[in-house]
């Protein structure tokens, strides 16, 4: 593992850690936001390209609003009206997405400095990052000790293991917010990427992108990715849910639900390069987002800009607004128990 200085924020040194496997695949991670900064994988000709959107320097991440590559928490995705009730107590949260709370608030896990530790083994390079989110931070109850471990295996798997404990009942939902373009970052839109999701249901949203509470079949809708389909093939259809999201920005309910064991949730294929990415997870849901709110103003890596739909996200997660939706899988974490979650991004080419 290689470590170098990445800049300073609030007077504190920030580092960039590069993990490499024996195939030459390389992932760079900063302890600011436990963020994936770059991920270089080969195409069918063996040519490497960086397949995640992001910035060349720390300043970009400090001011970033798109959560490029970041670890998102304490609660990933949206919570309606910026509040939730737990054990009879109402906890107000920042309304940083219209009337709603998004991705942990104004200073979520993506905007704090994590403590990094090299936990590599002879078999794989690995970086462990730890952060203590104090009781009341961004409105959440309980001192939450959070841990994210990135492991780059020699079979071109990037594994992310999340863990958390608390000293008071709280809610937790952690994800990684990388935007992918398997043709290479800055190489146009992602509409020709072919996506398959192991999800026959999704959670429709209201006008503020909060799930209405219904779990709906994808059959006969533009949300049916149960067979490999180009992302852009139906994105412009006259569909109420697509209009509300300005494209795809929805939680899909995964069919396989084997708690504790990662299952194949998604597969993406980019036909020009041949790059393929599989997503495996222990989570019950996955947010498919097509970069609808990217606007080209961000100064990305290597002088690239990121216009609308130049990257997609597959954010493994519990469902949005679960604390206010009793029928959704619970996100409550209690003292004496441990939150654990695993997501694997596996790369190949064909």
Averaged pLDDT, 251-270: 91
Q: 258 pLDDT band (50/70/90 cuts)?
A: low
259 has a pLDDT exceeding 70:
no
Q: What percent of the chain has pLDDT over 70?
A: 99
pLDDT in tens, 3-16: 999 999 999 999 99
Whether the link from the prior residue into 74 is cis, omega within 30° of 0, is yes
Q: What percent of the chain has pLDDT over 90?
A: 98
Pairing type for strands 89-92 and 83-86 reads antiparallel
Q: Return the DSSP state at 235.
A: T
Averaged pLDDT, 101-127: 98
Q: What is the residue-averaged pLDDT of the chain? A: 98
41 has a pLDDT exceeding 90:
yes
121 has a pLDDT exceeding 90:
yes
User: What pLDDT, on a 0 to 100 scale, did the predictor assign at position 256?
Assistant: 81
User: What pLDDT, on a 0 to 100 scale, did the predictor assign at position 260?
Assistant: 78
Which among 325, 320, 303 is positioned nearest to 103, based on CA atoms?
Answer: 320
Averaged pLDDT, 211-226: 98
What is the C-alpha to C-alpha distance for residues 330 and 156, in angstroms, rounded to an integer? 32
As annotated, the active-site residues are: 177, 315
What is the C-alpha to C-alpha distance for residues 185 and 301, in angstroms, rounded to an integer? 8
User: What residue segments make up the domains of the chain, in order of their start?
Assistant: 2-349
**CATH class of the domain defined by 2-349:** mainly beta
Put simply, whether the predicted model's pTM sits higher than 0.85 gets the answer yes
């Amino acid at each position: 593992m290689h470590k170098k200085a990445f800049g300073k924020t609030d007077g504190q040194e920030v580092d960039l850690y590069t993990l490499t496997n024996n195939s030459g695949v390389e992932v760079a991670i900063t302890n600011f936001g436990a963020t994936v900064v770059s991920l270089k994988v080969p195409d069918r000709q063996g040519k490497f390209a960086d397949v995640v959107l992001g910035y060349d320097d720390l300043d970009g991440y400090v001011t970033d609003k798109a959560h490029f590559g970041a670890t998102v928490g304490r609660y990933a995705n949206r919570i309606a009206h910026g509040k939730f009730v737990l054990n009879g107590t109402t906890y107000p949260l920042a309304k940083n997405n219209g009337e709603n709370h998004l991705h942990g608030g104004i200073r979520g896990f993506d905007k704090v400095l994590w403590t990094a530790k090299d936990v590599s083994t002879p078999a794989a390079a690995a970086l462990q990052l730890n952060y203590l989110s104090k009781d009341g931070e961004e409105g959440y109850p309980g001192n939450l000790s959070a841990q994210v471990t990135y492991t780059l295996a020699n079979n071109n798997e990037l594994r992310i293991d999340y863990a958390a404990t608390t000293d008071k009942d709280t809610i937790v939902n952690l994800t990684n917010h990388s935007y992918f373009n398997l043709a290479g970052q800055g190489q146009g839109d992602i509409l020709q990427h072919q996506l398959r999701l192991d999800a026959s249901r999704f959670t429709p949203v209201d006008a503020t992108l909060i799930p209405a509470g219904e779990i709906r079949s994808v059959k006969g809708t533009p949300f049916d990715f149960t067979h490999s389909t180009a992302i852009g093939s139906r994105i412009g259809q006259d569909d109420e849910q697509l209009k509300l999201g300005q494209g795809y920005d929805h939680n899909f309910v995964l069919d396989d639900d084997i708690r504790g064991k990662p299952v194949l949730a998604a597969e993406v294929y980019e036909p020009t390069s041949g790059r393929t990415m599989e997503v495996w997870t222990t989570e019950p849901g996955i947010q498919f987002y097509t970069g609808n709110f990217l606007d080209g103003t961000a100064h990305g890596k290597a002088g690239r800009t990121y216009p609308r739909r130049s990257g997609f996200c597959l954010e493994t997660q519990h469902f949005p607004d679960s604390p206010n939706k009793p029928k959704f899988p619970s996100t409550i974490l209690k003292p004496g128990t441990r939150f654990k979650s695993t997501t694997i991004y596996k790369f190949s080419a064909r």
